[in-house]
Amino acid sequence: MLNEKTIQIIKSTVPVLEVHGTAITKRFYERMFTQHPELLHIFNHANQKQGRQQTALANAVYAAAVHIDNLAEILPVVKQIGHKHRSLGIKPEHYPIVGENLLAAIKEVLGNAATDEILGAWAEAYGVIADAFIGIEAEMYEQSREQVGGWADFRPFIVEKKVQESDVITSFYLVPQDGQALATFEPGQYISVKLEIPGERYTHIRQYSLSDAPGRPYYRISVKREEANAEKPAGIVSTYLHEGIREGDVLQLSAPAGDFTLEQSEAPVVLISGGVGLTPMFSMLASLAENQERPVTFIHAAQNGQKHALRAEVERLAKDNPQVSAYWCYSEPTEQDRASGAFHKEGYLDAEWLEQVAPEKNASYYFCGPVPFMSAVKKALTERGISADRMHYEFFGPAASL
């Protein structure tokens, strides 16, 4: 527990963190990777270059300062980050490194404004927050290791099958190399894939949602090849998976993790996805269809039929299960798409169309996709009067804001 003086000092830094938070976290990562380059084997280099990780950490530090007198308020965020840490292999010995470099970055960025009193308060607060993370992650490691078919850290899997699902998405069917049991998971969860890519100095780790229902003799991930554009280069890992990995190759996987999962309820479910955001949505759909307990509406937005993955699987589930309905929205349909009537709406999702295909106000809404897409979905649902507690969404990568 923190004393009242420490709490008040931390709270006094909230306005400063609001202005300088990202500058502090940017300097933090620069310092840490200079002094501990071995950590580059863990962190996502692309998120660092794009500034996403720095922004996410700045937001987390700011939230910790705002709620320092009641850290239970940020417990859901701590658990969400804890899942990612366990999946990546973050351990207790990493936390002192983070603390040392975070405090040094605060001092460097704020200069004389970062008094010994402020730095002492933040050191004390960081110790409390780090202990919370370490405790929660220890429980997660234990749960992962002790469950049937579970394991800690990384485990070798064979690529049993590789299937091209669209022009940009390929599925990988993965089975344990040791032939032993496979841990179950909750629909919506993800695994980490650790790769040593030829020509790359550091190991790369990426997290991919599991794209099939639990209970199969394999894990499936469906990976979008990230093409280069004006804003960013081609994805190193996704390109290597698409072009360099073959059936029979071995990949290192962490056990399933994540808290973006279906809530226990009897309410109807509406699953809304954009692009490769359909991967956790399909896992949820397949599981719900097997249980046949709740009405399900599946809505997917893609550029066109050539970019639309897993369509046949969704349509088969809708055909075989009367409680499942599916709708497609294409932003740039091809002439063939138009001629075959391959979609239900041209353009982008909006509140009016969502009202037509998913009118249930008492449904639970789950959505995933690019951040602009999710922002538009959240806005459309809000306009329809859907309450925030009925909206559930997942970011691919560091948490952002809608």
Contacts of 335 (CB under 8 A, 6+ apart): none
Q: Which residues are catalytic?
A: 95, 137
Other beta carbons within 10 Å of 208 = 24
Buried b (16+ CB within 10 A) or exposed e, 176-191: beeeeebbebbbbbbb
Name the token pair of 379.
């806005």
Type and span of the H or E element at 131: helix 116-146
Judge contact between 17 and 62, C-beta under 8 A: yes
According to DSSP, the residues that pair with 223 across neighbouring strands are: 170
The strand pair at 169-176 and 154-164 is best described as: antiparallel
Measured distance CA(43)–CA(398) in Å, rounded: 11
Judge contact between 52 and 141, C-beta under 8 A: no
Measured distance CA(252)–CA(223) in Å, rounded: 16
Residues of the binding site for NADP(+): 275-280
According to DSSP, the residues that pair with 158 across neighbouring strands are: 175, 250
Residues of the binding site for heme b: 85
Q: What are phi and psi of 190, to 5 degrees?
A: -135, 170
- What angle (nearest 5°) sits at the alpha carbon of residue 260, between those of residues 175 and 172? 25
Tell me which long-range contacts 56-60 makes (C-beta under 8 A, separation of at least 24).
56/398, 56/399, 56/400, 57/25, 57/28, 57/29, 57/398, 58/17, 58/21, 58/22, 58/24, 58/25, 59/21, 59/399, 59/401
- What angle (nearest 5°) sits at the alpha carbon of residue 49, between those of residues 44 and 52? 70
- Look up residue 80 and give its DSSP letter: H
Taking alpha carbons only, the member of 148, 146, 277 closest to residue 214 is 148
Residues of the binding site: 85, 190, 206-209, 275-280, 395-398
DSSP one-letter string for 253-264: EEPPB-S--PPS
CA torsion angle for 104, 110, 112, 113 (degrees, to 10)? Answer: -120
